[in-house]
Amino acid sequence: MNKQTAKQVNMPVNMPVKKVVIAGGGTAGWMAAAAISKLLGKAVSVTLVESDQIPTIGVGEATIPTLHILHQLLGINEAEFMVATNATFKLGISFENWKDLDQDYIHSFGYLGQDCWACGFHHFWRKGLDLGLVSEIGDYCPEHLASREGRFAVMANQDLNHAYHLDAGLYAKFLQGIAFKHGGERVEGKISQVHQDNHTGFITAVTLDNGQHVSGDLFIDCTGFRGLLIEQALHTGFDDWSHYLPCNSAIAVQTETVGAPVPYTRSIARDAGWQWRIPLQNRTGNGFVFCDKYISNEQAIDTLLSNIEGKTLNDPRVIKYTTGTRRQHWNKNCIAVGLSGGFVEPLESTGIHLFQKAIVRLLQLFPHTGIDDAIVDEFNKQTQEEMDNIRDFIVLHYYQTERNDTAFWRHCANMAIPDSLKHRMALFKESGRVFKKAEELFGEASWVQVMMGQGLLPDQYHPIVDQMSEQELANFLNRIKQNTSKKVASWPSHIDFINHYCRSKMMT
């Protein structure tokens, strides 16, 4: 969209924003309602419109550590939240068969080893690899080692390098309680009409199928893939990323718990996509993300059901989607939050993060005195940069692979990729360097773990490493490894910690 068109879309309206209307519930809708009601409730009213007739996607059950930011803002007690949502802890993601068949690695949270001012720890590890001084890089990261050993603990003054596996439906109800406590209101009904100002095109109200009229100053679209306000009413436009991310379908099914829950999400590559396995306290979430050009829905369902553990608790359902992003996440007086704003598949559990980041960004840029271009442009700029960054990180998993055993994986290994990703990979391959902007979601440790896990090893390390003698380097690496091992050995098992800290009433 050119600048002239953008100016026409975002005409300034110097009307104070006093009434916020959220279209749609689910995790995104109730997250927005809870945050705005609690943090801005004295300045604005919040009304959420949802229909019991419209089901939510509700399969976004894995999170990343950034969720702590919202929980701290909302004053959420971790143990209470985990009991209410049957949650378990998550320290990372196990990628199985991604680099090649029968080759696995973990992308963990936390930090690798010890950095110096000039370069990251992996440069020291890389030289140590040449000299035969190191074991796998995860041995130098507590979260990585604890994932493999099935241990977990929340210690005093500990960095919050953990996330959660949770029941998305129960999480929405938990957030609903916070919204109601702080004055948020819910209106039951299906939106049948969206009203716009004849001059500006701004949304003024929605009419429900029961005839009720809900007016507002600012509208948040949480209607999912339909984009009822942002797209169907405002025709904002959508950038399709299917040429970078070929998977366009997902199947979800729940199963009974079998064994103790592991503190990580499993991502298991299959012939035409990948399978997730997410352990909650009372059940396991399972799913299969795939490209229907290479496998039929029926074959995909059979693939998933043939690779699960435990009795199924519901019938598998197929969800169709298109990866990509809305061209503007804030258009006129409407902000798309959740799937209405776009979708980058759930491979790195970024869905709920994007919901909360949009909400926090809105709170930071909230247009109390009126909506103007500068605020809208900044919101859209920040959102687009984050979407591009996450897209590149996801594409990396597919493109940097040694698999050539199926048509799907041959396609992925030979597809065109964004220039921004091509540059990151070339820089890392040639020098081991990972440069990122301060606001990017995925840090150096994440890029390093996935690039090396997928088989991209740096040819060189930073020359500052050579300031250490071989013995000094060996001592440095051994000390970090021993301290990591000692720290993790002091933690209880994941299931023991859950039983002590946040055992759910529904836990079997």
- Provide the annotated active-site residues: 90
User: What phi, psi does 59 have (nearest 5°)?
Assistant: -115, 5
- The number of C-alpha atoms within 13 Å of 42 and in the hemisphere containing its C-beta is 1
Q: 56 pairs with which residues across the strands?
A: none
Residue 208 contacts residue 97 (beta carbons within 8 Å): no
Residue 343 contacts residue 270 (beta carbons within 8 Å): no
Residue 470 contacts residue 52 (beta carbons within 8 Å): no
* Residue 353: how many other CB atoms lie within 10 Å: 22
Structure tokens of 236? 């904002």
Task: Please provide the DSSP assignment of 125-192 as one string.
Answer: HHHHHHHT----GGGG-HHHHHHHHTB----TT-----EEE--HHHHHHHHHHHHHHTT-EEEE--EE
Structure tokens of 123? 């440069």
What is the rounded distance in angstroms from the CA atom of residue 366 to the CA atom of residue 388? 23
- 299, with CB counted inside 10 A (0-12, 13-18, 19+), is middle
Grouping H, G, I as helix, E, B as strand and the rest as coil, residue 218 is: strand
Instruction: Give the pairing of strands 88-90 and 163-165.
Output: antiparallel
Structure tokens of 128? 């140590």
Task: Please provide the DSSP assignment of 393-450 as one string.
Answer: HHHHHHHS----SSHHHHHHHHS---HHHHHHHHHHHHH------TT-SS-HHHHHHH
* Residue 499: how many other CB atoms lie within 10 Å: 13
- 400, with CB counted inside 10 A (0-12, 13-18, 19+), is buried
Nearest Cα neighbor of 9 from 203, 191, 223 is 203
Residue 293 contacts residue 246 (beta carbons within 8 Å): yes
Q: What is the 3-state secondary structure (H, E, C) of 32-53?
A: HHHHHHHHHCCCCEEEEEECCC
What dihedral do alpha carbons 137, 410, 286, 493 form, nearest 10°? -10
What is the rounded distance in angstroms from the CA atom of residue 74 to the CA atom of residue 178? 8
Q: 191 pairs with which residues across the strands?
A: 208
* Residue 187: how many other CB atoms lie within 10 Å: 16
